Amino acid sequence: MTAILITVPELAEYTERWRSVSRSTARPQVPLTELIPPHVTVLVPWVAEPTDTDLARLQAAVASIEPFELSFPTAGQFPNGTAWLKPEPFDKVRSVLVSVFDAFPECPPYGGEFPDPHPHLTISSSAQGGPAVVAEANAALAAAPAPTVQLTELELWREDAEGVWHQIGAVPLGSATS
């Protein structure tokens, strides 16, 4: 499986306290920190084998979106218990997702399970999440905000047979080239 992500490795140390004790439902024996870096999912699943044409479509989809600062000032939770940090500016992040969705209508977000996804950075999966994690995260954010990062590109990732994700490429935002 492949995915388009906004990775934020700058938040790895900050989110370690939650992600290191949280497990994926697909790989419950392995903490999130060992499967994939902190990220906001743009589109998963993406095309199985990305071609030059797919990369060009993705580049065209984000060509008008210039790089911007990204912060994570608050935490929240989905009804299933998954705890997350909210990316800001939320509407700008959402517009990145919509641009990519529009470019790849054959790849519905989350296989169509969540057709209108809420951009987020998961800090705790549904099994380990919940109100206590959200309260702890909001207190931590109030005491010491998470690092702000400059979003300059979308990264392309592939999941291996062991369920671990590896970066396979990147596409710059805006008119920049990599």
Strand partners, 83: 77, 124
78 residue type, one letter: F
In the chain, which residues have pLDDT < 70?
176-178
Per-residue buried b or exposed e for 156-173, using 16+ beta carbons within 10 Å of the residue's own CB: bbbbeeeeebeeebbbeb
Both tokens assigned to 83: 């705890």
Judge whether 50 and 132 are in contact, CB under 8 Å.
no
Q: How far apart are CA 80 and CA 111, in angstroms?
A: 18
Element (H, E) at 137: helix 131-143
Judge whether 101 and 109 are in contact, CB under 8 Å.
yes
Model pLDDT, residue 43? 97
Residue 59 belongs to a domain? yes
Residue 150 belongs to a domain? yes
Model pLDDT, residue 178? 45
Residue 178 belongs to a domain? no
Residue 156 belongs to a domain? yes
Residue 42 belongs to a domain? yes
Residue 104 belongs to a domain? yes
Judge whether 50 and 169 are in contact, CB under 8 Å.
yes
Which residue segment(s) compose the domain that 64 sits in? 2-172
Residue 177 belongs to a domain? no
Provide the whole-model pTM.
Answer: 0.93
Residue 143 belongs to a domain? yes
Element (H, E) at 19: helix 12-19
CATH number of the structural domain spanning residue 23: 3.90.1140.10
Total number of domains in the chain: 1
Model pLDDT, residue 176? 53
